[in-house]
Structure formats: C-alpha cells, structure tokens
Amino acid sequence: MTADTHDEVVPFEAADGRTANLLHVVRTGAESVPAKAAVLLVHGAGVRANIFRAAVPITVVDALLDDGFDVWLENWRASIDLPPSQWTLDQAAVFDHPAAVAKVLEHTGRDSLKAVVHCQGSTSFMMAAASGLLPEVTTIVSNAVSLHPVIPPLAKLKIDWFHRPVRALTRYLDPHWGVEAPDAIAAAITGWVRLTHRECANTVCRLSSFTYGVGHPTLWSHSLLNDATHEWLKNEFGPVPLSFFFQMSRCVDAGYLVPAQRFPQFPDRFGTGAPRTDAAITLLAGEENRCYLPESQQRTFDYLTANGRGQYALHVVPRYGHLDMFMGKDASRDVFPLILDALRTN
C-alpha cells in the first residue's frame, strides 16, 4: 500500500460459512470525508487483493481514491491470503461475491456500489451478476474475460496435456515455488520451467507464465513493467487448484461459462438469454492479451448488446496484455482513465 493509506480489514462470512475478507483502503487523515461511491475491486485466480497495488507511482487504488471513490478490495476464496481450497467459479459467484457486496453496503450504509473485476474475479462476478445475485451493483468494469472465455489453441492443449496428467502428482500449481519449492514435484516442475522459460531471471514470473498459458511471458509484457514491479510480483502469486483449469477447459470448449456444480440460482446457460442485471458494464481487453484473447470480451459485448438492458462499452487497449493493465508502469496514463470514466458516468 502507499504510504498515505492504511487498510481496514473487514472479515465477511461467505454463504457457505467460509471466512473471507475485505480491505477497506482509507487515506490516512481523511476518514470522515464522504466519498462519491463505493468501488469493490475483485482479484483473479492464485493472487490476492494486493494485486491491484503494484510498485508503481500511481496504482489503480490511488487513482480511485484521488477521484473521490471509497475503495474496497475483496479477498475471495481464490485469494492466496486465505487457506488454499479446490474452489470453483460457481462457489465464488453464489457464496462469496454477494456476501462481499452485502458487507460493503452494511459497512457504508449505502444501497449500491460499483465494481472493477479482473480475470477469474470477473468471470465469477459476472456469473453472479448474470444470475441476478448482485442487484445492488450498478456499474461493472471487467478486465480480460467475463462470460465467454477464448484462449489460444496451444494454451488449451496445455491444459489437456500437462495440467490434466500432472494432477496425479499435485493438486495445485504455485508460481511461488520459484522462491521456495516445498517438495520434489514442485522442484521438478520449477526445474523444467527454468529450462524452458528463458525470458527473464525471475522464476516466479516464469512460473506464472507456465501456469497460466503459453506466453513468454503470459500475463504481461516485460517492457510495460518497471523493475520494482517485476520484483514485487514474487510475493503476489500463490497456489491455484488444477481443478480450476478443468472447469475453464469446459468453458472454453462450450464458448461460454459452464458451472462446475448445479446451483438453482443459475440460469440454464450463461451467455444466452437476458442477463439478470441492469448494471452498466464496461469491458476492457488488452489487445496483446495471450492469457484470454480479446475476442473473449468482444463476444460478451456482442451478447450483452443483443440481450441486455444496460449500457455497455468495450475498449481494446493497444500494446497491453493481461495484468499489465493494472501493473504497468504507464497504466495510470493508458488504462486507468478508461476505468475512471466508466465509473464516473454510470
């Protein structure tokens, strides 16, 4: 966190009884200043709420605070700050996000909020929104992927030919093995990645590329990160269950999100029929995203425009990829204005 803010940790209980938490980011000395709206930021798989606070002069959290928003970061069940589990997108959609939204509203006395959601924080949040479970959310800004995941063909092959067989040996992959490999399997996978990923000397960075796709790197362009952020990310990645990749593989095959379980709250199919939300939805995609191709967000935009009743927008950002949309050294100039505009006008 930046020097002039502190975190108020607000635990919440998910609907299945699991404990998670929210970080309320408060500017020191400004506790009583009313903010214009509450904004909930939702991280992706195998990281944590802090992923939105890279080692850059202006993080997206700073930009939101500067603009007068009341900023909340959600650690949902995929967070590496919580005990590892075989989580599913469904559980996050039904159990975590509605409870997190309710807790923010309870805490602030507000009756609505806005959200900025990334990757699997976005897919699960959009699952919840499309199911009518988030009626208090008036505006959603989604990065990378939402209801229609599209990944490179080689990445799909990798899930089928690496992730699937390796589950006999481990239930998780963890880029943090680049700092400390806890057992022989972790050491073997890390050794393989050191041999096959020569793009930099940061083994956590290389393992994150290996875990989440087939890029060198997968989640950002090195040219868009500063050195401090490349170092900082070593502590921002942790375990992701292999079971997640199998759910995602089924989604990619179908062309839309497919539940792992059958919750009665869900529609028969995601990505067809009317979404059960009137929220204004702005979809962001890095043009160079090789984790989820920009076509992912294009398909969701087309679907929403044809079937929804809200205001929708799509921005494809040149040069940017997946997480550099938030972590990039120039993201405050190239990306955050799009986020702020979407939150201000809707």
Q: How many angstroms separate the CA atoms of 233 and 320, rounded?
A: 17
Give min distance, CB of 208 to Zn ion, in A.
Answer: 8
Closest separation in Å from C-beta 201 to Zn ion: 8
CB of 232 to Zn ion, least distance (A): 12
Q: Give the rounded distance of the alpha carbon of 123 from its chain centre.
A: 8
Count of residues that bind Zn ion according to CB under 5 A? 3
Question: In the bound complex, what is the minimum distance in angstroms from residue 219's beta carbon to Zn ion?
Answer: 10
Angle between helical axes of 97-108 and 119-130 (0-180°, round to 10): 80
Which residue number, 177 or 301, has a Cβ lying nearer to Zn ion? 177
Structure token pair of residue 284: 């962001």
Question: Measured from the CB atom, is 231 or 341 closer to Zn ion?
Answer: 231
Nearer to Zn ion by Cβ, of 102 and 200: the residue is 200
Choice between 166 and 200, CB closer to Zn ion = 200
Strand-pair category, 19-27 with 5-13: antiparallel
Query: How far is the C-alpha of 103 from the C-alpha of 97, rounded, in Å?
Result: 10
- What six digits make up the tokens of 146? 């939402």
Question: Any contact of residue 91 with Zn ion (CB under 5 A)?
Answer: no
Taking the least distance from each CB to Zn ion, the nearer of 179 and 200 is 200
- Rounded-to-integer distance, Cα 79 and Cα 322, Å: 18
CA–chain centroid gap for 150, Å, is: 16
Distance CA 85, CA 78 (A): 8
Distance of closest approach, residue 233 Cβ to Zn ion, in angstroms: 8
In the complex, minimum distance from the CB of residue 162 to Zn ion, in angstroms, rounded to a whole number: 20
Q: Which residue has the tokens 């009665």?
A: 264
In this structure, are residues 285 and 291 in contact, taking their beta carbons and an 8 Å threshold?
no
Our CB check for Zn ion shows the closer of 231 and 295 to be 231
Outline where DSSP puts E strands in 52-129.
Answer: 70-75, 113-118
Q: Is residue 229 involved in binding Zn ion (CB under 5 A)?
A: no
Q: Which is nearer to Zn ion, 22 or 205 (CB)?
A: 205
The contact mask relative to Zn ion for 173-212 (x = CB under 5 A, - = no) is: ---------------------------x-x--x-------
Q: Does 88 bind Zn ion (CB under 5 A)?
A: no
The CB-of-242 to Zn ion minimum distance in angstroms stands at: 23
* Integer angstrom CA distances of residue 56 from 24, 61, 63, 224, 328: 20, 11, 12, 11, 8
Minimum distance, C-beta of residue 215 to Zn ion, in the bound complex (Å): 11
Which among 15, 11, 87, 97 has a CA at the least distance from the CA of 239? Answer: 87
Among residues 20 and 205, whose Cβ is nearest to Zn ion? Answer: 205
- Find, among 310, 311, 312, 309, the residue nearest to 297 by Cα: 312
Q: State the residues that interact with Zn ion by CB under 5 A.
A: 200, 202, 205
